Structure 1
Amino acid sequence: MTAQHSNIVAVVTGASRGAGKGIALALGAAGATVYVTGRSQQEGDAALPGTIYATAKEIDAPGGIGIPVVCDHASDAQVAALFERVGRESGRLDILVNNAAFIHDQLIQRGGFWEKSLDLVDILDVGLRSGYVASYYAAPLLIASGKGLIAFTSSYGASCYMHGPAYGAQKVGVDKFAKDMAVDLRAHNVAAVSLWMGPLRTERTLGVWEREPDKYAAFAPYAESPQFTGMLVDALYRDPRMMDKSGQVLVGAELALEYGIRDLDGKQPPSYREMLGGPTQAHPALVE
Structure 2
Amino acid sequence: MTHSSDTTVAVVTGASRGAGRGIARALSNCGWRVYATGRTVVETGDEAIAVPLDHRDDTAVAALFARVERENGRLDLLVNNAAAVHDELTGPNPFWEKPIDLVDILDVGLRSAYVASWYAAPLLLRSRAGLIVFTSSPGSVCYMHGPAYGAQKAGIDKMAADMGVDFRDTPVDVVSLWMGILLTEKMREVFGGDPVGLRDFAQHAETPEFTGYVIDALFRDPDRAALSGHTLISAELAQRYGVTDEEGRTPPSHREMLGAPRTPSEVIVR
TM-score scaled to structure 2, two decimals? Answer: 0.93
Matched, 1:9 2:9: yes
Question: 1:6, 1:32 within 8 Å by CA — same for their partners in 2?
Answer: no
Name the counterpart of 1:77. Answer: 59
Deviation of 1:66 after TM superposition, in Å, equals 1.4
Q: 1:286 to 1:193 in 2, by over 3 A?
A: same
SS in 1 for 2:169: helix
Which residue of 123, 127, 132 maps to 1:145? 127
2:256 aligned with 1:263, yes or no?
no
- For 1:121, which of 78, 103, 117 is the aligned residue? 103
SS of the aligned residue for 2:67 comes to helix
- Alignment correspondent of 1:280: 262
* Number of positions where the alignment pairs a residue of Structure 1 with one of Structure 2: 265
Aligned-residue sequence identity (percent) comes to 58
Partner of 2:126, secondary structure, is: helix
In structure 1, distance between residues paired with 2:87 and 2:113: 21
1:14-29 equivalent positions in 2, closer than 5 A: 14-29=14-29
* 1:220-265 Cα shifts (integer Å, max 9, x gaps): 4321000111111111111111111100100111111111111111
Q: TM-score, normalised by structure 1?
A: 0.88
Specify whether residues 13 and 263 from structure 1 end up closer, same or farther in structure 2 by C-alpha distance, changes over 3 A only. same
What is the match of residue 70 of structure 2?
88
The residue type equivalent to 1:206 in the other structure is R
**Displacement of 1:206 after TM fit?**
2.6
**1:105 pairs with 2:87:** yes
SS in 2 for 1:145: coil
Q: Flag structure 1 segments of 5+ consecutive residues without an equivalent.
A: 42-50
| Maintained 8 Å contact 1:182/1:192 | yes
* C-alpha distance in structure 2 between counterparts of 1:162 and 1:216, whole Å: 22
| SS, match of residue 144 in structure 1 | coil
- 1:178-210 CA-to-partner distances (Å, cap 9, x unmatched) read 100011012211000000000001123234445
Which of 140, 165, 176 in structure 2 is aligned with 1:194? 176
Question: What secondary structure, in the 3-state scheme, does the structure 2 residue paired with 1:186 have?
Answer: coil
Structure 2 unaligned blocks of 5 or more: none
CA distance in 2 between counterparts of 1:217 and 1:36 reads: 30
Aligned to 1:37: 37
* 8 A contact 1:199–1:219 mirrored in 2: no
User: CA 1:170–1:217 in 2, change beyond 3 Å: closer, same or farther?
Assistant: farther
Structure 2 residue identity aligned to 1:150: I
Q: Distance in 2 between matches of 1:216 and 1:139?
A: 41
Amino acid at match of 2:38: G
- Give RMSD over aligned pairs: 2.0
Q: Pick from 152, 155, 174: which aligns with 1:170? A: 152
Q: CA deviation at 1:218?
A: 7.5
How far the C-alpha of 1:270 sits from its partner, in A, is 0.5
